[in-house]
Amino acid sequence: MKTFILIHGSWHSSWNWHKVVPILEKLGHKVLAIDLPGMGKDKTPIKEVTLKSTVEYICKIIDDIEDKVILVGHSKNGIMISQAAEYRSEKIEKLIYIAAYLIPNGKTQAEYSVKDINGALKPFVIKFPASNSHTLDPAIYKEGLYHDCEDEIFEMAKLILSHESVATGITPLELTEENYGSVPRFYIECTIDKAVTPYIQQKMYTETPC
């Protein structure tokens, strides 16, 4: 039996994994799909959310688990599992990136996002300077995020997607080979992803091999 911690991507929350969790549990694994601070049911004010506070939240969950965990990150929040691995390398069995941002030391998610010029979402990101947050225009939900999903997923998303912190994406990661580099990494490339395109996925896992 393994313990999986599932980390959702931008604007999403733990509901993202509602079809994945039962599959893993049926195989006998323990699965925690969490809401990151300010997302889903977590009511932390978005303007208070930082990369540091988010990773500390993940680390606290890891600390409460006796055994090693498998940390899974989707999309933007690959950055969270990388930074958590720097702080808790001894508690993480492996890192799984699912079409996720795999960013090297000293770089930010935003630096790599801007290189993904064919991504479908950028023109539809709505910014809220007062809360230092952004969200996604529902007009792009279907084409940009759920083009290969059942309609029920799309309908759920229209009710659930929310704002997210800008700060987390513009904060450089602090990673070392001694800690982060000691944790095995695996990358699942999503070949028809329109949010994090195959181009940027390939660039990232080529620069940081998995």
Active site residues: 75
Token pair listed for 54? 């988010």
Euclidean distance between CA atoms 115 and 190, whole angstroms: 18
CA dist 118 → 128, 136, 169 (Å):
24, 17, 19
Pick from 17, 41, 56, 40: nearest CA to 168: 56
User: Which strand ranges, in their side-by-side order, compose the sheet holding 125-128?
Assistant: 125-128, 133-136, 164-165
Euclidean distance between CA atoms 123 and 189, whole angstroms: 24
Question: How is residue 143 annotated by DSSP?
Answer: I
- CB under 8 A, 24+ apart: contacts of 89-92: 89/179, 89/180, 89/182, 89/183, 91/62, 91/63, 91/65, 92/62, 92/68, 92/183
Angle at 174 between CA 170 and CA 177, to 5 degrees: 140
